[in-house]
Structure 1
Amino acid sequence: MINVLSAALFVSWLASFGLILFKHVHQHLTTDHVGSGPQKMHHGATPRIGGLPVICGLLAGLLMLYFGESHLNTQLFVLTLLPVWLAGMIEDLTKKVSPLKRLLAAFFSALLGMYLLDAKLVRLGMPLLDHLVTNYIVFNALLVMLAVGGITHATNIIDGFNGLSGGVVVLILSALGFVSHQVNDTLLLGLCVAMIGATIGFLCWNYPKGTIFAGDGGAYLWGFVIAEICMMLVYRNPSVSPWFPLLLVIYPVWETVFSIYRRKVLRGVPAGLPDALHLHSLIYKRVVRYRVGSKKPEHMIKRNSLTAPYLWGMASLAIIPGLFFWSNTSMVLALIAMFILCYCTFYAMIVRFKIKRWVTVGGDFALGSDRSEAKSNV
C-alpha cells in the first residue's frame, strides 16, 4: 500500500504543478476569476480544474493495485466514476453544465456501480426497509441514487475554502481505510489509499495558498468515490453497521440538508440559490478575523486558509468516535444525533454573536473601517 500511496501522491502533485506552471496557456478556459458572487473568497485568477490531477493520481494508484501483489481488478471502478467526473470537468471548462445535469450524471454512475461493483443497499437495520431493498430492485436503485447523488453533491457544497473539502475527504477516507483494514477488505483499503494519495498531492498546492482549486470535477470525484466505497463496505462486510457511512459523511450531508431547510423554509428562496450563509462562510466572516477588510493578497490568502481547520475539527467530532463504534448501530446513531446538535449549536452561536473571544483568530488585527462586517445580520 506504500507504493500505491506514493504513486498516487506523486502523480497528483506533478500534474497539479504542471497545470499551475503553464496556467498562462489554458487560463482562458480553466481559471476562476475573483467576482462578486457570494462564494468568491479567493484572490486572483486560479485554475479550477483540480479534478484532473486528482483523477490522474487516483489512476496511478489503481494501476499499482492492478499490477501489484494483490492483482486487484480496478477497471470496473474507473468505469463507474467516469460519467460523474466528466460532468464536473465539462462544467469547469464550459460553465454550461447545470446542477441538475451533474446530479443526473451522479445517478447514472451510481447505477453503474450497482451493476458493475455490487454497490447496493441490502440492509438498513430496519425490517420494513430491509424487506423493500432486498425484494424490490427499483426501490433499491432509487435509494442508491439518492445516497450516492446526495453525498456527491454534499461534497461539492463544502468546497468553499482552501483545503476545506480536501482535508475532510482525507479524514473520511482514512476512517474508511481503517475499517476496511479491520475487516480485511483489501480492495476497499487500496481504493482508500489511492484516493488519499491523490488528494494529498493536490492539497500540497491547494493548501494553504490556493494556487489551484478542485472545481466541480474534483469535488464530484471525491464525493462519488467516498459514496461508492461506503456502499461496498456495508454490502461486502456484514459486521459493519449500515449507518456507519452516514456518520462519516454527516458533516457535508447535514450542511446540505440544513442549507435546503434554511433557504426554503426560513428564507423562502430556491434551495439551489447560492449564498454566503454556509457554516464555513460564517466562520470566515465572524470567527476568522485576521486582517478583516485588507485587500492585500497575502492577507486574503491567510484569512482564507485559517477557515478550513475549524471545519476539519467539526468533521472529526463524528469521524474519530466512529472509529471505535463502526459495528455498533446504536452508538453510531447516537453519535449522528450528537453531531447534528453540536453543529446547530455552533451555527446558532455564530449567528447570535455568542462566540467566545478565544475561539476567534486575529481579532486584534481587524481594520477599524471594516469592523461593521462582524455586526451584519444573517
Structure 2
Amino acid sequence: MILVSRARGHARRYGEAMPQRFHMGDIPRLGGVGIFLGMAASWLFAAVAFWAGNVGNLGIDAKLAVAFTCAVAPAFIGGAAEDLTQRLSVRYRLLLTGLSAALATWLLGASLSRLGVPVLDGVLQALPWLGLVLAIVAVMGLPHAFNIIDGYNGLSGTVAMIVALALVYVALQVGDRQLAGILICMVGATAGFLFWNYPRGMIFAGDGGAYVWGVTIAVCSILLVQRHSLVSPWFPMLLLIYPVWETFFSIYRKLARGVSPSVADALHFHQLIYRRIVHGVFHDDESRRMLMRNNRTSPYLWAFTGLTVVPAVLFWSNTIVLMVFCVLFVITYVSAYLMIIRFKVPRWLRK
C-alpha cells in the first residue's frame, strides 16, 4: 500500500516506447520490495518462534531463515536496482543472481546429485563439482525465466504461486515440512502483492519480484530433490517447463534473427496472446481498455501452466512419465506459437 501511494516517481523512467509496456500511466515497479520484505519477515518470525520454544512442526530455525534471506538478497537487490534506475545492465544482474546461486550452494548445501538418467547420474557421482555447477546455473537462470514471463497483471505472480504450492504438496508427501514452510511464506507474500496487482494493476513485481520468485523456487526445488530420493528430478523440471522453455525458445528466436538475446522484444508467447487472441474492449477510455485487455491475457497462461502442473503433481516420482510430459509441452508450445504467428488460431479460442 505504501509503495502504491508513494513510489510512482521512478516509473517515469520506464519509457512509453518500451516493447514490454502494456499499460497506461506511471505504475510503480517495486512490488518485489514488498514480496521480499514480507517473505523474509515470515522466515525470521518462524525463527524467533523456534528460538522461543514454539517449534511446531516446521523447524525453520535462525540459521535456515538467515541462509535463505542471504541467498535471495543479492538477486533481489539487482532486480530492484534495475526497477529503480532502468540502467543496470544484464551483465551485472547475471552477476548478482550468480552470487545468490553461490550463496545457496554454500549456505544451504544446494547441489544436483542426480538427473534421473543413469548415465548422467553416474557422471555426477564421479564428479560432485559438476552437481554444484548445475545447481548454480539453475539458480542463476530461473530468476531471468520468471522475468521473461512477467508481462501482464497477475501472470508471473500466479504462476509462481501455483508452482510453489505444487512443491509444498510434494514436500508434505515426503514429510519435509521445513521446505513446505519456506515456500508457504513466499506464497503468502505473493498473495499480498497480487491483491494490488490483479486485476487493478496498481503495482508491478518488476525485476526484483521475478528474481525473488526465481531464486526461492529454484533453491527449494534443488533441495527437495537432493533431500528425498523418491522425488524425481524431472518433477520441478515439468513444473517450471513453461518459463524455462520460454527462455530457451526466446534465445533461439532472437539468435535466428541475428539479434542479441539480451535485447527486449514483443514476440514472447504471452505478448502474442495479448495481441492476437484477446479481444479488445471498445466501450471505455483507452486506459481502461488496455487494463481490461491486460487482465484477460493472464488466464490463458494460467491454464497453459496447469497443463504441466497437474501431471507433475500426479506423477512426481515417475521420471519416465514426467519426461514424456516435458516433451509434449515443448511440442504443444511450438505448435501453438506457430499457429498464432500464422494467424491460424481457432475462432473458439478467441472468444
Under a length normalisation based on structure 2, what TM-score does the superposition of the two structures give?
0.93
Report the alpha carbon displacement of residue 33 of structure 1 after superposing the two structures with TM. 4.3
- Counterpart contact for 2:110–2:132, Cα < 8 Å: no
Task: Check the 8 A contact 1:163/1:207 in 2, yes or no.
Answer: yes
Could you say which residue in structure 2 is the equivalent of 1:359?
349
Contact 1:33 1:44 in 2 (8 A): no
SS in 1 for 2:103: helix
| 1-structure distance, mates of 2:83, 2:141 | 20
Deviations 1:315-342 (A, max 9, x none): 1100111111000000000110111111
Structure 1 residues 114 and 293, CA gap change in structure 2 (3 angstroms): farther
Query: Match of 1:306, SS?
Result: helix
Structure 1 gap segments, 5+ residues each: 1-16, 362-378
Mapping 1:135-150, distance limit 5 Å: 135-150=126-141
What amino acid is the match of 1:248? L
Provide the C-alpha distance between the structure 1 equivalents of 2:283 and 2:19, rounded to a whole number of angstroms. Answer: 16
State the Cα deviation string for residues 227-261 of structure 1 (Å, max 9, x = none). Answer: 00100000011100011111010000000111111
Q: Give the alignment partner of residue 264 of structure 2, picking from 263, 269, 274.
A: 274
Q: Structure 2: how far apart are the matches of 1:71 and 1:271?
A: 42
Counterpart mapping for 1:219-368 below 5 A: 219-265=210-256, 267-291=257-281, 296-361=286-351
Query: Aligned Cα RMSD in Å?
Result: 1.7
Deviates more, 1:157-166 or 1:345-354: 345-354
Q: Structure 2: which amino acid aligns with 1:330? A: I
Compared CA separation, residues 31 and 175, structure 1 to 2 (3 A): farther
In the alignment, which residue of structure 2 is the partner of 1:72? 60
Indicate the residue corresponding to 1:156 in structure 2.
147
Q: CA deviation at 1:137?
A: 4.2
Per-residue Cα deviation, 1:184-232 (whole angstroms, up to 9, x for no partner): 1011100111101100100010111211010111111111111001000
Indicate conservation of the 8 Å contact 1:51/1:221, yes or no: yes
Per-residue CA deviation, residues 96-121 of structure 1 (Å, 9 max, x unaligned), is 22112111211111111111112111
User: TM (normalized to structure 1)?
Assistant: 0.86
Which position in structure 2 is the counterpart of 1:216? 207
Q: State the match for 1:127 in structure 2.
A: 118
Matched with 2:9 is 28
1: CA distance, partners of 2:46 / 2:228: 21
- Counterparts of 2:157 and 2:121 in 1: how far apart (Å)? 34
Structure 2: 5+ residue runs without aligned partners?
Answer: none
Instruction: Please identify, of 343-352 and 137-146, the stretch whose mean Cα deviation from structure 2 is larger.
Output: 137-146
Distance 1:104-1:135 versus aligned 2 partners, 3 A rule: farther
Query: Is residue 100 of structure 2 the alignment partner of residue 112 of structure 1?
Result: no
**Residues 316, 32 of structure 1: CA spacing in aligned structure 2 closer, same or farther, 3 A cutoff?**
farther
